[in-house]
Structure 1
Amino acid sequence: MRATTNLGNIVRIQLPNIRLYVRFSRLPVAIRAGTLGRLCRRMLEYAAQVVVCGAVTNSLEELDRRIEILRDEVRRALMAGDTVRANQVRVELRRVERAWHDAIDAVAAPDDAAKAAGPLGSILSVRDQVHQALTLLGVPSAPKMVVAVQDVFFAGELSSEKVRHLRRDEERSFRSSPHARPYYLCSALTADRLIAARGLLAVSTWPISRRIVGPLSGRVDFLTGAIHVAEQVGRMSEPTLPAKRLLRRFATSIPSAGDSFDALDPATVAEAARTELAVHQDDDQVQRDVAAERATSQLDERQQLFGSTLTVVSQSTTER
């Protein structure tokens, strides 16, 4: 490695096949080559991590699309009675699914430097951490809320990216081995069309009416989550600053829950949430129960967990 100073505060660093120009706000009079070498290595390691993470994310999306295409091919081959072709495609499907799991492991792998510098974090798997957070909230929730609750109360190592990819993995597991797990992380279902509600996760062991979301459910679930979070904060001997911030996120959208951050009280937030919840809860429960009856009678087990699929009806069919 060779380092030379240029005009002003720019340092040119020459590595094999790489030339870097680094601008410093204050360039010292003398810079040791070892210091610059360490700087270069850190910059290159960071750049490599960014490239790898981006490549893995793109690979996951491509593998998802490939898996869906192969599944369609298997179904078409079976419907046509071509078992030879179906078996060939199934072999390829298993290979692509293994690649998908390898890509997930690459995204979820812990950072070595963080492991060396800090605590080991949660020993639970990603799905168990998500289940833990959802159980505390008690309602269908978005990945960002799941990550926030896990981080505040359980010191987990979740990210929204991990949580988003997890639901597809759960559905694949249920397709291949139904009821092999004690619970599945599934979708909330829309009350009108009984399809997967975008961006909401639920737990398969919940009653189906709780996993239904209707016109009033968004507000009802928000207030229910606020009560559970407030109760959890109230059980802490000394609430941490992140816990207070999370409670404040709920309180700012609830009337009479608290005027300022310093005066925030978990019991007050919970009581204010219960007061508003009483206004909407009965009507929401009626809508959920009606939709739950439809789902139970119209959907199979997998669809009750992950939603029905919309089918396209051709114009010639509707004219008959």
Structure 2
Amino acid sequence: MQQLQEALRQALTQHDTAQVHSLGEELTRTRHAWNVLCGITEVPDTAQPEVQPGVRPEPALAVVEPNQDVPVRDQVHQALALLTVPASPKLLSQVHQAFFSTPLNTARMTTLRRDEERSFRSAPTAAPTTSVPR
């Protein structure tokens, strides 16, 4: 959001109204996604963008459906990489849902934590990364 705000300020100083409008809309969408992620607002059931008469909407970015065959460990690592800090299973699930459109099953994360803990106890240097505290 900070990068969008900085780009918006720069567009304002350059009097680039088209860029200001575009960045303003993107910042609004980003703030809404952040609020949903933090649990401040709810996700609307029918989220359809408003279309003004005579204005063609921009084509939507291609959304790649997440691969259901991705292991839980990799999904947890994706969410942790986005957060860059340790987090609770509930927060990891919310972050993964916000960015990848599918929630993580917290029960499967518990199983993963136990499996990785056992693995670490048996061979501490075997795995380059783990998703549980060492």
What TM-score, normalized by structure 1, do the two folds share? 0.20
Larger radius of gyration: 1
Larger relative contact order (CA 8 Å, sep ≥ 6): 2
The structure with the greater share of residues assigned to helix is 1
Q: Which has the higher strand share?
A: 1
